[in-house]
């Protein structure tokens, strides 16, 4: 059975396995670097929770098949989102559900806008953003498409 839930320190091993199993292009699109087997410190930070960050996983029988996170940016009011779904689980709604979950969590933590940065050629991610927040328009900044989503305009968030 598939379950969406907040991630935490107990998920370090399962999230490490998930990230290590991603195809290199997905790791690159999500993190901007090739990951290989990520370090424990990297994953520990990725799943840590606090006033400035949080993350969720989709798990199937204890194995992670998708992960999403939010991180407060230095301006204090924006939260950057990142999402990655295992290849064979894509187009089944996990990106959408996890995007909403982390967006809601960031909003509850006081974020006033969500930020999503994607490569221009990453059409699945760009489609996901416009699927979730239809009125949001991206702008090109330093070779990336940057979407800023003002939260109060979107009824499903907070
Ligand atoms: C982008 C990504 C997270 C989408 O996850 P997903 O679980 O497949 O997305 P969903 O199934 O929730 O799709 C929701 C909507 O997004 C859009 N979408 C998602 N993938 C798409 C694709 N390949 N082509 C066109 N539209 C797509 C569609 O509108 C879709 O709704 P629909 O299926 O009813 O048409 C996934 O492709 C991924 O992990 N990519 C690699 C990592 C990455 O690029 N992350 C984003 C940068 S942080």
Question: Does the CB atom of residue 124 touch ligand 1 within 6 A?
Answer: yes
The model's pLDDT over 30-54, given as tens digits with 9 standing for 90+, comes to 998 777 888 999 999 999 999 999 9
Provide the pLDDT for residue 37: 85
Question: Does the CB atom of residue 85 touch ligand 1 within 6 A?
Answer: yes
Q: Are the beta carbons of 79 and 115 closer than 8 angstroms?
A: yes
Question: Is the pLDDT reported for residue 157 higher than 80?
Answer: no
Closest CA to ligand 1's atom 10: 93
Q: How far is CA 98 from CA 84, 139, 144, in A?
A: 9, 23, 22
Place of tokens 């974020």: 111
- Poorest-pLDDT segment among 51-65, 67-81, 84-98, 141-155: 141-155
Question: Does the CB atom of residue 152 touch ligand 1 within 6 A?
Answer: no
Instruction: Summarize the confidence of residues 67-90 as an average pLDDT.
Output: 97
Question: For the chain, which residues make up each domain, given as ranges?
Answer: 2-115
The model's pLDDT over 92-130, given as tens digits with 9 standing for 90+, comes to 999 999 999 999 999 999 999 999 999 999 999 999 999
**What is the CATH code of the structural domain delimited by 2-115?**
3.40.630.30
Residue 56, classified by CB atoms within 10 Å of its CB into exposed (0-12), middle (13-18) or buried (19+), is buried
Mutate to test the pocket of ligand 1, among 26, 69, 95, 130 (most ligand atoms within 8 A of CB): 95
Provide the pLDDT for residue 144: 95
Phi and psi at residue 101, in whole multiples of 5°? Answer: -65, -50
Closest CA to ligand 1's atom 22: 124
Provide the pLDDT for residue 46: 95
Provide the pLDDT for residue 90: 98
Q: Whole-angstrom Cα distance, residue 19 to residue 28?
A: 11
Provide the pLDDT for residue 28: 92
* Local confidence band at 153 (pLDDT 50, 70, 90 cut-offs): low
Place of tokens 């953003």: 129
Q: Are the beta carbons of 52 and 70 closer than 8 angstroms?
A: no
């Amino acid at each position: 059975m598939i379950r969406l839930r907040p991630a935490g320190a107990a998920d370090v091993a399962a999230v490490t396995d998930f990230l290590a199993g991603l195809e290199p292009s997905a790791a690159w699109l999500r993190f901007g670097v090739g990951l290989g087997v990520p370090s424990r410190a990297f994953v520990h930070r990725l799943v840590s929770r606090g006033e400035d960050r949080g993350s969720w996983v989709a798990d199937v029988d204890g194995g992670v098949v998708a992960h999403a996170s939010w991180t407060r940016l230095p301006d204090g009011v924006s939260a950057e989102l990142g999402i990655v779904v295992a290849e064979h689980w894509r187009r089944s709604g996990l990106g959408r559900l996890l995007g909403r979950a982390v967006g809601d969590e960031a909003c509850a933590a006081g974020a006033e806008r969500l930020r999503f940065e994607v490569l221009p050629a990453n059409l699945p991610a760009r489609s996901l953003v416009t699927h979730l927040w239809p009125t949001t328009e991206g702008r090109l900044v330093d070779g990336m498409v940057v979407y800023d989503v003002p939260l109060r305009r979107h009824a499903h968030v907070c």
